[in-house]
A and B are shown apart, each in its own frame.
Chain A
Amino acid sequence: MSEPITIDDLKTDEKSWWCPGCGDFGVLAALQKAIVELGLSPDNLAIVAGIGCSGKIGNYINSYNIHVVHGRTLPTAMGVKLANRDLTVFAVGGDGDGFAIGMGHFIHACRRNMNITYIVMDNHIYGLTKGQNSPTSDFGAKAKATPWGSIEHPVRPLQAALAAGATWVGQGFSSNQAQLVRLIQEAVNHQGFSFLNVISPCVTYNKVNTYAWYKQNLASLDDEAKHNPSERADALRLAVETDEMVTGLLFEDRDAPSYDSLVPGFSTTPIVKQDLILPEEAWDNLLAAFR
């Protein structure tokens, strides 16, 4: 019906606000490539972005984008998906957006299992507010509001998602494009909530968790081929044992029913395409209950 999509179709003429070398460029590139390879039309693509450096992604990708309130990408994305189940819906944000102010929604999105994909660009720092610790910052990490070092233990997003019941959990690295593109595609194809945490280094404010540091510490599950992603307990153990320094698919449950499949009477015709006028006879029945 529509012409094949190219990367150029997905690009905007907006000048980037990201710092040169930012990991978010890699996430954007992988997202665009994954969309092209999946054959998704930008007409049917909705991206809900949060607040922070990562939240600017909607400026650079030519789809239906909504840039929302800090921390609230997930409920907004759920609203988009419920309204029009024919859309492919992404929620995209940073570690502050998702695991600090938005943590409540994250846990509930995991257990709700709506058919959307959540990509977090995780750089262990607040970039746009110029360098405060984020919920994923290491214990002891020094930053503007914690000059003596963080005295809080970091959130472990993969474990949190697994414990909350997420049915697809993966982690990518902005520098490993081939794996990241593949993970995004798998996440989109998953029938349910997919959570993809992407290590996306901040070159300006995080001088500890650098590209070199991640390259030294991150192990790819692609290289090991020993992990069985069908067992939640195995995935949790792996996440704990590696302290989440792994990339690849940690867990997927292909059989879990998605939220949309559980909503009573939820039509395969998207809500936005339904007739809104109620037949007159329906009212007679509805009002009878009040007589």
Chain B
Amino acid sequence: MDQIAWKIGGDQGEGIDSTGDVIATVASRMGYFVYGYKSFSSRIKGGHTHYKVRIADHPVRSAVPETHVLVALTQETIDRSVHEVVPGGAVIADEGFQPSLPDGCGLPLIAIPMGRIARELGNPVVRNMVAVGATSALLGVPLARYEAYVSLKFEGKGQGVVDVNLAALRAGFEAARAVLPDGLGFTLPEVAEKGRLLMTGNEAIALGALAGGCRIMAAYPITPASDVMENLVGLLPQHGGVVCQMEDEIAAITLVIGASYAGARAMTATAGPGFSLMQEGMGLAAMAEIPAVIVDCQRSGPSTGMPTKSEQSDIMAAIFGGHGEGGRIVLSPSTVEEAFADTAEAFNLAERYQTPVIIASDLALSEWKQTVEHLPIEKVTIDRGEIAPQDFLRHLQRGSFDRYALTDSGISPRSLPGQPHGQYLATGVEHLPSGKVSEDPRNRKSEVDKRARKFQPLIDDPTGVDYEGPATPDLLIASFGSVTGAIEEAIATIGESTLHIGRLKVRRLWPFPATAFRKCLEAAGEVMFVEQNSTSQLRRLSELVGIDTSHATSLLRYDGILFTPQEIQAAIRSRFARQEVS
């Protein structure tokens, strides 16, 4: 078997996350590719939740419909998920709730007194570790693998906590072994360890920020962006930086603007409603040409929407949000590696173009763990953009520095507070090259044009898209963000040798890489946009810049559920059914 999907379900607050983390991390340490994701709701206790871990010998970055091993802590888990369990799979359940499978489903039920074992160990909370022990027996993974990681995971909580968790693992393992039917079980052989990483997008964003020289982070807690802040709390203070939890998102973005104005690399991270609140601040940064890095972990909207569900519906807000016409750069990572690289590079772009740079992540990319082959740390460079040299400023009279000088590139060197004779007024009011306010019509036009001119080179920059596939594909699948994982897997496993499929992911949503994008679309027989929003925002965006999408269709999801490779394959097959390629 080249892959196994393991899933645990239960009530929120029962350690579902922790259990998923153990299964995923141990598989990663054994050398497997892993993707771990869950479904949860916006509350702390109660409500059904599940965590699914895909374990494979090849890269996996998407949800799948099937499950091989289902671990049920409640009957609701069985009722909701047993239909996913494939023939040859099994259900492990806590005997305590008298689990029952639907009539005739034919699956083996491995009932173990998880709750009772935990209570006998004196800590009902370790019921989930009994489940891990049982999983260990079923998957054929040596228990020592789990013991090693669990010891490490709970190290900080004291030897007592470690011991009871280890005892639970062992008891679960033995209880499962005692009741496992002959011939049932999987094998996950040890593969050569690659030292790969297992990481969420938000963890990579935090590391990317650190690598990119970010030393100030300000944010307001919001799902699914809070852990960018929490991860940076563990990183920045050790490296001379600071993280500020603010009173709201407006304070967060304006603190970032103040810090960037003063010459630090600063960022914020938010989602949904918080992103809306930041729009005015981003307008100021665009107008006063102050760098700012904003991570938007997109979730279902508008308003509160579905805060715990992934969506890709903020791209118009990211590009055009706020009043007036301010320039922004919007990056779109689709993998954890890209989340790292884009975040590090965002600080270069923000300072080079003196403008807000938005990293448009999404909940699935931000929150779900995936295997990282290599974090491209060695590729990170630091480019502070154009800063007025001290030798130049020294000869100026105080107050005569033209901060917003009309240059050919549109980029005007900036001075930083503390630089002698570099004083100027940075303002959200329209201003002269000196920074002094002005409503002169000619100046207004020249400053607007100057700010717009800065972005011109990016439109033709081919790095804004990433294409993989034949030169003239029958079908081109266009996307951005985390859905790319399901698309890649769909293409890799569709098994249609006569159908040539290419995938085009947009890596920079704005300035839109129109030249490269158009070229790819023109070379394709047919085009399908796959997006997690209801209006096909990427397609609309490409139409906006004059790209013909009349030969395209859109496959859209906006129900909070992640795309699977299988449904993308089904869409491809139905599209090409007339060509008899199924």
Contact = CB atoms under 8 A, between A and B. Distances in A.
Given A58-B427, A287-B375, A80 B241 contact: no
Nearest to A108: B247
A2 to B, nearest CB: 7
A16 interface: no
Q: Classify the interface of chain A: helix, strand, loop or mixed.
A: mixed
Contacts of B418: 43-44, 64, 84, 86-87, 272
Interface string B198-229: 11000100010011010110100000000000
A223 to B, nearest CB: 38
B215 A278 contact: no
B375 A82 contact: no
Interface in A59-108: 59, 62-69, 72, 74-84, 86-87, 104-105, 107-108
Nearest to B417: A64
Contacts of B199: 290
A283 interface: yes
Nearest to A63: B423
A83 B262 contact: yes
A72 B251 contact: yes
A76 B368 CA distance: 33
A23 to B, nearest CB: 21
B27 to A, nearest CB: 13
A226 interface: no
A62 B251 contact: no
A177 B31 CA distance: 74
Given A104-B248, A272-B263, A68 B254 contact: yes
Contacts of B197: 287, 290-291
A270 to B, nearest CB: 8
Interface in B229-264: 235, 237-242, 244, 246-248, 250-252, 254-264
A4 to B, nearest CB: 14
B370 to A, nearest CB: 11
Contacts of B398: 9, 42, 62
A291 B375 CA distance: 12
B417 A46 contact: yes
Interface in A35-65: 41-46, 48, 58-59, 62-65
B416 interface: yes
B240 A79 contact: no
Interface in A207-266: 263-266
Contacts of A204: none
B439 to A, nearest CB: 12
Contacts of A79: 216, 218, 254-262, 264, 266
B254 A75 contact: yes
A271 B259 CA distance: 10
A84 B418 CA distance: 9
A84 B262 contact: yes
Nearest to A86: B418
B215 A65 contact: no
B406 interface: no
Contact of A266 (B207, B242, B429): B242
Contacts of B248: 104
Interface string A262-281: 01111101011010111000
B340 to A, nearest CB: 11
A105 B251 CA distance: 7
A12 interface: yes
A11 to B, nearest CB: 9
A84 to B, nearest CB: 5
A79 B288 CA distance: 16
Interface in B394-447: 398-399, 416-429, 436-437
Nearest to A10: B398
Given A75-B246, A83-B264, A290 B216 contact: no
Interface hub of A63, A68, A77, A78 (most chain B Cβ within 10 A): A68
A43 B419 contact: yes
Contacts of B207: 286
Nearest to B210: A278
B474 to A, nearest CB: 39
A69 to B, nearest CB: 5
A105 B256 CA distance: 15
Contacts of A80: 258-259, 261-262, 417
A75 B419 contact: no
Contact of B244 (A12, A44, A82, A271): A82
B372 A78 contact: no
Contacts of B422: 43, 64
B237 A263 contact: yes
A287 B208 CA distance: 12
B250 A72 contact: yes
Contacts of A86: 418
A82 B259 contact: yes
B29 interface: yes
Contacts of A286: 207, 210, 235
B461 interface: no
B424 A64 contact: yes
A274 B382 CA distance: 13
Nearest to A91: B258
Contacts of A78: 244, 255, 258
Given A80-B262, A269-B240, A271-B241, A68 B428 contact: yes
B307 interface: no
B525 interface: no
Contact of A69 (B241, B254, B372, B425): B254
Given A78-B244, A264-B237, A278-B239, A46 B436 contact: no
A62 B397 CA distance: 11
Contacts of B264: 79, 82-84, 271-272
A277 to B, nearest CB: 7
B280 A69 contact: yes
Given A83-B263, A84-B418, A66 B288 contact: yes
Across the A-B interface, the 4 shortest Cβ-Cβ residue pairs: A79-B258, A276-B213, A83-B264, A79-B259
Interface of A: 2, 9, 12-14, 41-46, 48, 58-59, 62-69, 72, 74-84, 86-87, 104-105, 107-108, 263-267, 269, 271-272, 274, 276-278, 282-283, 286-287, 290-291
21 contacts: A42-B423, A43-B423, A62-B423, A64-B417, A65-B427, A66-B258, A67-B427, A69-B250, A69-B280, A75-B252, A76-B261, A79-B257, A82-B242, A83-B266, A87-B418, A105-B247, A108-B246, A276-B382, A277-B213, A282-B239, A290-B203
Given A68-B254, A75-B258, A290-B197, 13 more contacts: A43-B417, A64-B424, A69-B254, A75-B250, A78-B258, A80-B417, A81-B258, A82-B216, A82-B255, A104-B248, A267-B240, A286-B235, A291-B196
